[in-house]
């Protein structure tokens, strides 16, 4: 009833190519943003921040990153965990080497370092495709984790082999370290997520995004209409790695605070992010958010139901959690291989006609 | 073959100088000779057809022209310059666009986006400006969109602008693919069997589009086609290939009466 294109005439091509062509969507978008910036900071507490909101925000950035590479450019990567580790360790080195630098610059610089590493490990993609590329990125995953374990320079020769986030403040409020304010941490993460999501959307709807999608859908035809496969693939690797690196840095400084590389950024992390992208929907920014929300919320929800409602033992619930989440992923892939984003699209198509579908 | 610098077609168009010249092209795949010592030229503003039985090497010839294959011997001259070893995407930037025998559209994208990819060689804003979607990036997007909309109008596919191309019927997909090549505003347009698998009506539409492209935009066209009726009607000059060799070259009438061509198509009696 409210969800209509009718009467909303586009008179310029700029209007026609905007992100939310339907008025209702635009209002909803601004409403969500206003809620996230103006309401949530006042009601958020430590439990919600650490159990739900912060992992969701951080994983969203990682999922957008992998979606750029896998969903938009068609290059499968199993190295996201390793690239997150690069972001985290770069962040740690910047913070300890330049104590005066503010947290935003540090996280951004970590992203750029990861982008450079991503280009390096993206080079095989110029020669190999599909499963073989996935295996090559898997090598990146294991190599990077091994590197951060073996070379003490990366963790400043600390005895435990861990890295710990030093305290940093933004306008006098601590956002990293031991004593943080939930709302301040939340706002820092939110700013990164919103800005990066908007940039990702702009890149993917412009000429760069079309180059990536052309390479994904048919690389030979793409080359013949003038796409340089080398720059297209490497730019996808660079930008994707930038996002994943930023999320790794945030994961370290804002969320965990202390990191042991094998535990925090192991192969499991790569798979979780890949699941997010696949469940959310390949080639969709919204899908990245939906997938991240699914993978973060589902375990929390299941735990609450099994431990809180049914009164099961924690270890039993933890095991069942794996079974159920795993099962759900399989069911999901069979029933809706195009992910949550496709369900959302179908819902919107139905909404357009509702309540008079004929 | 010697020819005057320009000549008039029977329907009154003027054909200019050489756009592309193939000189003694030989292409081998291992021991197999796909093309043997073929020379011909394409002149500005003409519709040049390449015909021949299956496996004659026509598609290979097109692949040589747009740089997908590199011939072992021979030279390709484009706009009076010898072309060095170039990658297909560099050749695209020089102004050669093509369509494929089997449709090669980007199935995950809408019709509009597919045709917009044809403009990629004309879009130059950097990553940072695109990321902000400000000023130059948006302006460039809009300008190119205008060109694309003209192509969409020309091909009469306005109604499927936002439809994912995977959902379109075959004939329309072929048309979108032609649109993608046209959006690049090519100097030379290569069409690999633009009418394969079409019914008579679709063939008529496609022939009309090809003639209109040539007429309105003055685009030089080289096409491969199996439908002799269509070729004889729309082509200005025809190259005939058989088993990788050139067996005929000339106007449709000359080719039609060439004994070698008749033998290749109808067979010869061996006694």
Q: Is A225 on the interface with B (CB under 8 A)?
A: yes
Of A7-16, A60-69, A160-169, B99-108, give the range with the top mean pLDDT: A60-69
Find the helix packing angle between A130-150 and A267-280, rounded to 10°: 140
Across the interface, whether the CB atoms of B113 and A206 are under 8 A apart is answered no
Q: Is A206 on the interface with B (CB under 8 A)?
A: yes
Give me the residue from B66, B104, B120 closest to A227, CB to CB: B120
Give me the residue from A202, A223, A224 closest to B131, CB to CB: A202
Taking CB atoms and an 8 Å cutoff, what residues of chain B touch A216?
A: 106, 108
Across the interface, whether the CB atoms of B117 and A222 are under 8 A apart is answered yes
Taking CB atoms and an 8 Å cutoff, what residues of chain A touch B109?
A: 210, 213-214, 217
Tell me the per-residue pLDDT of A324-333, one tens digit each, with 9 for 90 and over. Answer: 888 888 888 8
**CA-CA distance, A153 to B103, in Å (whole number)?**
54
Average pLDDT of chain A is 90
Handedness of CA A206, A208, A209, A210 (dihedral sign): positive
Across the interface, whether the CB atoms of A12 and B137 are under 8 A apart is answered no
Nearest CA to B207 among B188, B194, B226, B217?
B194
Please, are residues B93 and B49 in contact by the beta-carbon 8 Å criterion? no
Taking CB atoms and an 8 Å cutoff, what residues of chain A touch B132?
A: 199, 202
Please, are residues A317 and A307 in contact by the beta-carbon 8 Å criterion? yes
Across the interface, whether the CB atoms of A12 and B142 are under 8 A apart is answered yes
Whether the per-residue pLDDT at A37 is higher than 50: the answer is yes
Lowest mean pLDDT among A86-90, A325-329, B65-69, B112-116: A325-329
Taking the CA of residue B83 and the nearest CA in chain A, the distance in Å comes to: 16
Taking the CA of residue A172 and the nearest CA in chain B, the distance in Å comes to: 30
Tell me the per-residue pLDDT of A204-220, one tens digit each, with 9 for 90 and over. Answer: 988 899 999 999 999 99
Nearest CA to B251 among B6, B114, B47?
B47
Taking CB atoms and an 8 Å cutoff, what residues of chain A touch B97?
A: 224-225
Whether the per-residue pLDDT at B2 is higher than 60: the answer is no
Nearest CA to B181 among B80, B77, B91, B92?
B92
B262 CB-near residues (< 8 Å, 6+ apart): none
pLDDT at B1: 41
The structure's pTM equals 0.90
Taking CB atoms and an 8 Å cutoff, what residues of chain A touch B87?
A: 223, 228
Question: A176-196 in b/e burial notation, b at 16+ Cβ within 10 A?
Answer: beeebbbbbbbbbbbebbeeb
Taking CB atoms and an 8 Å cutoff, what residues of chain B touch A229?
A: 89
Work out the average pLDDT over A218-226: 91
**CA-CA distance, A349 to A351, in Å (whole number)?**
5
Predicted-complex ipTM score: 0.87
What CATH fold (topology level) applies to the domain B1-95+186-271? Rossmann fold (3.40.50)
Q: In 3-state terms, what secondary structure has residue B198?
A: coil
Q: Is A239 on the interface with B (CB under 8 A)?
A: yes
Whether the per-residue pLDDT at A244 is higher than 80: the answer is yes
Handedness of CA B114, B117, B118, B119 (dihedral sign): positive
**CA-CA distance, A43 to A45, in Å (whole number)?**
7
The torsion of the CA quartet B66, B69, B75, B76, rounded to 10 degrees, works out to: 0
Please, are residues A88 and A264 in contact by the beta-carbon 8 Å criterion? yes
Nearest CA to A261 among A166, A93, A148, A138?
A148
Please, are residues A284 and A67 in contact by the beta-carbon 8 Å criterion? yes
Work out the average pLDDT over B107-135: 86
Whether the per-residue pLDDT at A2 is higher than 70: the answer is no
Other Cβ atoms within 10 Å of B145 Cβ, number: 20
Taking CB atoms and an 8 Å cutoff, what residues of chain B touch A222?
A: 106, 117
Tokens of A42: 């006042």
How many Cα atoms occupy the beta-carbon half-sphere of A78 within 13 Å?
16
H or E segment at A258?
strand A258-259
pLDDT band at A304 (very low <50, low <70, confident <90, very high): confident
pLDDT above 70 covers a percentage of chain A that reads 98
Going from N- to C-terminal start, the domains of chain A cover 48-274
Going from N- to C-terminal start, the domains of chain B cover 1-95+186-271, 111-182
Q: Angle at Cα B93 formed by Cα B89 and Cα B99, nearest 5°?
A: 65
Stretch 262-291 of chain A: residues touching chain B, C-beta under 8 Å: 283
B63 to chain A: closest CA residue = A224
Across the interface, whether the CB atoms of B141 and A17 are under 8 A apart is answered yes
A338 to chain B: closest CA residue = B108
Tell me the per-residue pLDDT of A246-297, one tens digit each, with 9 for 90 and over. Answer: 999 999 999 998 989 888 999 999 999 999 999 999 999 999 999 999 999 9
**CA-CA distance, A353 to A3, in Å (whole number)?**
8
Work out the average pLDDT over A167-176: 83
Tokens of A41: 């900071």
pLDDT at A110: 96
Please, are residues A339 and A279 in contact by the beta-carbon 8 Å criterion? yes
pLDDT at A296: 92
Taking the alpha carbons at both ends of chain A, their separation in whole angstroms is 14
Q: Is B93 on the interface with A (CB under 8 A)?
A: yes
């Amino acid at each position: 009833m409210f969800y209509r294109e009718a009467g909303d005439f586009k008179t310029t091509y700029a209007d026609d190519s905007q992100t939310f062509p339907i008025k209702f969507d635009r209002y909803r978008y601004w409403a969500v943003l206003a809620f996230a910036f103006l309401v949530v900071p006042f009601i958020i507490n430590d439990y919600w921040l650490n159990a739900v909101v912060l992992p969701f925000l951080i994983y969203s950035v990682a999922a957008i990153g992998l979606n750029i590479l896998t969903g938009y450019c068609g290059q499968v990567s199993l190295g996201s965990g390793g690239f997150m580790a690069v972001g985290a360790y770069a962040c740690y080195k910047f913070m300890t080497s330049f104590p005066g630098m503010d947290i935003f610059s540090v996280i951004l610089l970590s992203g750029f370092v990861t982008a450079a590493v991503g280009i390096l490990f993206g080079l095989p993609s110029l020669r190999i495709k599909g499963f073989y590329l996935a295996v090559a990125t898997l090598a990146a995953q294991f190599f990077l984790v091994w590197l951060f374990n073996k070379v003490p320079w990366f963790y400043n020769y600390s005895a435990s082999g861990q890295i710990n986030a030093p305290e940093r403040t933004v306008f006098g409020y601590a956002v990293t370290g031991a004593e943080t304010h939930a709302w301040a941490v939340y706002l820092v993460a939110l700013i990164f997520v919103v800005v990066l999501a908007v940039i990702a959307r702009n890149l993917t709807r412009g000429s760069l995004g079309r180059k990536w999608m052309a390479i994904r859908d048919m690389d030979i035809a793409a080359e013949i209409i003038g796409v340089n496969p080398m720059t297209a693939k490497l730019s996808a690797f660079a930008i994707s790695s930038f996002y994943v690196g930023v999320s790794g840095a945030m994961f370290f400084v804002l969320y965990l605070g202390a990191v042991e590389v094998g535990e925090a950024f192991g192969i499991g992390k790569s798979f979780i992010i890949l699941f997010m992208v696949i469940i959310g929907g390949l080639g969709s920014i919204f899908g990245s958010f939906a997938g991240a929300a699914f993978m973060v919320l589902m375990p929390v929800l299941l735990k609450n139901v099994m431990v809180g409602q049914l009164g099961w033992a924690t270890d039993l619930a933890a095991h069942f959690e794996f079974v159920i989440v795993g099962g759900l992923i399989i069911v999901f892939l069979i029933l809706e291989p195009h992910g949550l984003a496709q369900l959302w699209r179908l819902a919107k198509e139905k909404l357009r006609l509702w309540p008079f579908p004929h | 073959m010697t020819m005057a610098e320009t000549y008039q077609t029977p329907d009154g168009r003027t054909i200019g100088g050489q756009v592309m010249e193939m000189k003694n092209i030989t292409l081998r795949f291992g021991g197999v000779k796909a093309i043997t010592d073929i020379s011909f030229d394409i002149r500005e503003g003409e519709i040049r057809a390449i015909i021949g039985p299956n496996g004659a090497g026509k598609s290979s010839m097109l692949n040589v022209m747009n740089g997908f294959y590199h011939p072992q011997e021979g030279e390709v001259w484009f706009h009076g310059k010898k072309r060095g070893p170039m990658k297909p995407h560099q050749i695209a930037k020089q102004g050669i666009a093509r369509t494929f025998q089997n449709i090669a559209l980007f199935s995950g994208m809408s019709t509009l986006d597919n045709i917009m990819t044809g403009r990629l060689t004309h879009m130059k804003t950097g990553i940072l400006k695109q990321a902000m979607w400000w000023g130059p990036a948006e302006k460039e997007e809009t300008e190119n969109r205008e060109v694309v909309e003209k192509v969409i109008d020309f091909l009469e596919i306005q109604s499927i602008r936002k439809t994912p191309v995977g959902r379109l019927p075959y004939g329309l997909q072929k048309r979108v693919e032609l649109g993608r090549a046209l959006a690049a505003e090519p100097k030379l347009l290569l069409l690999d069997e633009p009418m394969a698998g079409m019914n008579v009506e679709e063939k008529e539409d496609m022939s009309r589009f090809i003639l209109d492209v040539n007429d309105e935009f003055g685009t030089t066209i080289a096409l491969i086609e199996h439908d002799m009726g269509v070729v004889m009607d729309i082509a200005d000059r025809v190259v005939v290939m058989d088993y990788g060799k050139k067996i005929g070259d000339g106007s449709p009438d000359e080719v039609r009466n060439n004994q070698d061509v008749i033998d290749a198509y109808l067979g010869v009696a061996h006694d």
